[in-house]
Amino acid sequence: MADKGLSPRQKMINLMYLVLTALLALNVSAEILNAFILIDQSIQKSTVNVNTKNGEAYGVFIALNQENPKKVEGWYDKAMELKAKSDELTEKIQEYKQLLVTTADGPEGDVNHIQKKDDNNVGGQVMITEKNGELLKEQLEEYREFVLGLIDEADKDSSILVSNIETTLTTEDVESLSEPGKMLPWAEANFEHLPLIAVIAMMSKMQNDVRNVESDVLSYMKNKIGETDFRFNKIQAIVNAPVSYVRIGEEFSADVFIAAADTTQDLKIELTEGGGKMVIDTVTGRGIYTGNTGSPGTFKWGGNIILTDPGTKEEKKYPFMNEYQVVSPTFAVAADKMNVFYIGVKNPVTITGTGKSITASISGAGGRLTSTGNGKYDVTVTSRGDANVTVTADGRQMGTVKFRCLPVPDPYATVAGMKGGVIAKQTLLAQSIVRAQLDNFVFDLSFPVTGFTVSATINGFTEEAKSTNASITSQQRAIITQLNRGQKVYFENITARAPDGTIRNLGSISFKLQ
């Protein structure tokens, strides 16, 4: 069992296999049998988690295919075929598990409540004598060749993914622990002379292996869809200056950078207007511009940010233009976000003034002013009304600025990024949570969903199920599963926690299945 190129997860599973196989050389006690039960339950729980992750990934493929089929090209069809074959194989392994249990415990045997856990003959009977082990081996090999075929030939030589697939889904002979040097056939090593519960745990591991390989290949295919794109989804030249007004004789500086950067490329910036100089900070990946501040006035400056297209390898230029003003000494209080303070969040404020010692204070609306350095402050308020910020320079009051204090607006609820409407049933079933979103707001805030109810009319009766968090429960998913094309499902009584700790009622959204 060579471990070259194995992931930490696979190394752990292989080590578990060796240890547990060694234990089988001893008398199988009740404690060991119970240990196999715990291991089987742990593996099944891990498989459920991987299935959830894979479901979200398939939801991405479905959404991309609906929005931009040309971009997805053939990868959507490959993803759907991968899902079908992965489901088929894991279901087939489940059938083998059920066959083993019913052979040992009788027709009423239950995989989740095995009676003859210590039966060490049924594995050999069903999987060796009745040839099901050879059938399973062929099915694993067929699946392995299928997933390897999804990987482009150009990627195979240097791909760690290929090595992981071959190792995880190996069906090679296994060296005997009791007779070093002797090789046992794959089916015999996995199923013969083992307690029934150990065989079941081994098959659960195989199902987990299939789902993890499925997850790895899905990630590979998602990356292939966008490998010729830039490594970010929006390309925009950004100019960020700490202040746009400076005093005569002071240095004006600004950061120039891409809103979302590709760390595999070196940043290139050329100045085309305004003079000054540009220095590239290789640590932060930003350009730092220094301009003229020797006299008052308005100064324009600009240039191009240059990036190499990952597909064509051609250089592309993204122009930027900005201006700054040099003014005589004064003071200012400016809200960095908007001319209001929002209740329950930190409102960033910049305060500048002429003098050696600049101080500020706030009154009204339960306001609090906290300095974060370099003329920057955070303002927090607790109630509606007006707040007054007063600035003092060298002990002299320079003025007061009034701000309105308002609560943060309510977000809206979404499922699959939608606020309701027509949706494919498989897309809805692929979702795992309900989200609360607040678009086009000055702050990036989080509103964790604290609960909701899913309801629908089934056979003339209303069925509903509740969730006490953002996750869609198995009971809620079961309601959706029963619905047919054209029927409606409702997400009601959706609540979310605001940044100030209050619970907001977001109302309801509904979907019609297509």
pLDDT in tens, 189-215: 888 888 999 899 899 999 999 999 999
Residues 6+ apart with CB under 8 A from 469: 449, 450, 451
* pLDDT at res. 313: 65
Q: Which residue do the tokens 């002071």 mark?
A: 250
Q: Which residues pair with 397 in a beta bridge?
A: 392
**pLDDT winner (highest mean) among 106-115, 264-273, 487-496:** 487-496
**Mean pLDDT computed over every residue of the chain:** 85
pLDDT at residue 17 above 70? Answer: no
Q: pLDDT higher for 126 or 223?
A: 126
Residue 300 half-sphere exposure toward CB, CA atoms < 13 A = 5
Determine the Cα–Cα distance for residues 514 and 483; give it in Å rounded to an integer: 11
pLDDT-wise least confident of 5-9, 79-83, 141-145, 182-186? 5-9
- CA nearest neighbour of 327 among 393, 248, 386, 229: 248
pLDDT at residue 478 above 70? Answer: yes
Report pLDDT digits (tens) over 401-440: 999 999 999 999 999 999 999 999 999 999 999 999 998 8
- Interhelix angle 196-225/160-168, nearest 10 degrees: 160
**pLDDT winner (highest mean) among 106-120, 236-250, 253-267:** 106-120
Report pLDDT digits (tens) over 130-168: 999 999 999 999 999 999 999 988 888 767 899 899 999
* pLDDT at res. 381: 95
pLDDT at residue 373 above 80? Answer: yes
Report pLDDT digits (tens) over 313-340: 678 888 988 887 776 555 556 555 567 9
pLDDT at residue 182 above 80? Answer: yes
Instruction: Give the mean model confidence (pLDDT) for residues 249-268.
Output: 65
pLDDT-wise least confident of 58-62, 73-77, 171-175, 259-263? 259-263
All domains of the chain, ordered by start, with CATH?
Answer: 8-225 (no CATH), 237-326 (2.60.40), 332-407 (2.60.40.1080), 412-513 (no CATH)
pLDDT-wise least confident of 206-220, 237-251, 266-280? 237-251
Region for 340 from its dihedrals, namely left if φ exceeds 0, alpha if ψ lies in -120 to 50, beta otherwise: beta
| 3-class secondary structure, 370 | strand
Q: Which residues pair with 399 in a beta bridge?
A: 391
- Tokens coding 322: 């900005």
Q: Which residues pair with 503 in a beta bridge?
A: 497
Q: How confident is the model at residue 233 (pLDDT cuts 50, 70, 90)?
A: very low
Q: How confident is the model at residue 25 (pLDDT cuts 50, 70, 90)?
A: very low
Helix, strand, coil shares of the chain, percent, nearest 5, are 35, 30, 35
